Amino acid sequence: MAADAQQTPQQQLDEQLRSFEAALPDVADEPGLYELQVRFLGKNGAVTKLRRLMGKVPPSERKELGKAFNRVKQAMETHLATRAGELAAAARERDLARRVDLTFIPDPPRPGTLHPITQTRRELERVFRRLGFDVADGPHVEAELYSFDKLNILPDHPARDMQDTFFIERPTHLDHADAPALVLRPHTSPVQARTMLQHGAPVRIVAPGTTFRRDDDATHSPMFHQIEGLYVDRNVTMADLKATLYAFVEAFFGRGLGVRFRPSYFPFVEPGAEFDMQCPFCFDGQLSHGCGLCKQSGWIELGGSGMVHPAVFEHCGIDSSVYTGWAFGFGIDRMAMLRHGIPHLRHNFEGDLRVLEQFTSP
Partner 1 sequence: MLISCTWLSELLGRPIDLSPVGEANDPFWAQNIAERLTSLGLEVEGIAYFELPKVIVGRVDAVSAHPDPKATKLNLVELFDGQASVQVVCGASNLPPVGGKVAFAPVGTTLPDGLELSARELRGVASHGMICSEAELDIGGDADGILVLPIDWEPGAELQDLVPGIRDAVIEISVTPNRPDALGHLGVARDLALALGCELQPPKLRSVADAPELPELVEVPASDRCPRYLGYALEGCTVGEAPLWLRTRLHRVGLRALNNVVDITNFVLMEVGQPMHAFDRARLAGERVVVRMAKPSEPITILDGSELELSTDDLVIADAESPQALAGVMGGAGSMVEAGTDRLLLEVAFFEPLAIRRSARRHGQHTDSSHRFERQVDYDAQLELAAGRALALLHDLCGATCVGRCDVRGPLPERAQIELDPAHVGRLLGMDVGPDEVARILSGLGVELDRSTEGAWLCHPPSYRPDLDRDVDLIEEVMRHHGLDDLPARHSVSPEQRVMLPEDPKRGLADALTDGLRARGLHEHVGLAFVAEALIAPVAAEFEPSQLVRPVNPMRSQQACMRPHLLPGLLDAVTYNHAHHARALALFEVGRIYRWPLSQPELQPSATSEVDPFLPDEPYRAAAIRVGQSQSKTGEVARALTDDLLACLARVGLHAQARPQAEPCAWLHPGIQAGLWIGPTRVGVVGELHPDVVAARDLSELELGYGELWLEALPQPPVVQFEDIARFPATTRDLSLDLDQRVSSHEVVAALAGAAASALSSGDDPPQLANADDPRQPIVLLEDYRGEGVEPGRHALLLRLNYRARSRSVTDAEVTAVHDAVVAGALATLAAIDPAARVR
Region from 148-156, 169-177, 273-281, 334-342 binding Zn ion, contact rule CB under 5 A: 273-281
- Whether the CB-CB separation of 232 and 203 falls below 8 Å is answered with yes
The entry of partner 1, Zn ion, none that residue 149 binds, CB within 5 to 8 Å by partner kind: none
**Nearest-approach distance from CB 137 to partner 1, in angstroms:** 6
The half-sphere exposure of 6 on its side-chain side, counting CA atoms within 13 A, is 2
313-352: which residues touch partner 1 (CB under 8 A)? Answer: 317, 324, 348-352
Helix H or strand E segment including 89: helix 59-96
Query: Is the Cβ of residue 294 or residue 335 nearer to Zn ion in the bound state?
Result: 294
219-248: which residues touch partner 1 (CB under 8 A)? Answer: 221-223, 233-240, 242-244, 246
Q: Is it true that the peptide bond before 208 is cis, omega within 30 degrees of 0?
A: no
For residue 108, what is the DSSP state? Answer: P
Contacting residue, 14, 86, 137, 149, with partner 1 by CB under 8 A: 137
State yes or no: residue 294 binds Zn ion (CB under 5 A).
yes
- By three-state DSSP, how is residue 156 classified? coil
State yes or no: residue 210 binds partner 1 (CB under 8 A).
yes
- Whether the CB-CB separation of 293 and 339 falls below 8 Å is answered with no
State yes or no: residue 281 binds Zn ion (CB under 5 A).
yes
Query: Is the Cβ of residue 48 or residue 119 nearer to partner 1 in the bound state?
Result: 119
State yes or no: residue 217 binds partner 1 (CB under 8 A).
no
Beta pairing partners, 115: none
- The footprint of partner 1 on this chain (CB under 8 A) covers a number of residues equal to 96
Residues 6 or more apart in contact with residue 200 via CB below 8 angstroms:
317, 318
Give one DSSP letter per residue of 286-303, joined into a string.
Answer: S-B---GGGTTSSEEEEE
260-319: which residues touch partner 1 (CB under 8 A)? Answer: 260-265, 270-274, 307, 309-311, 317
**Nearest-approach distance from CB 341 to partner 1, in angstroms:** 18
For residue 150, what is the DSSP state? Answer: G
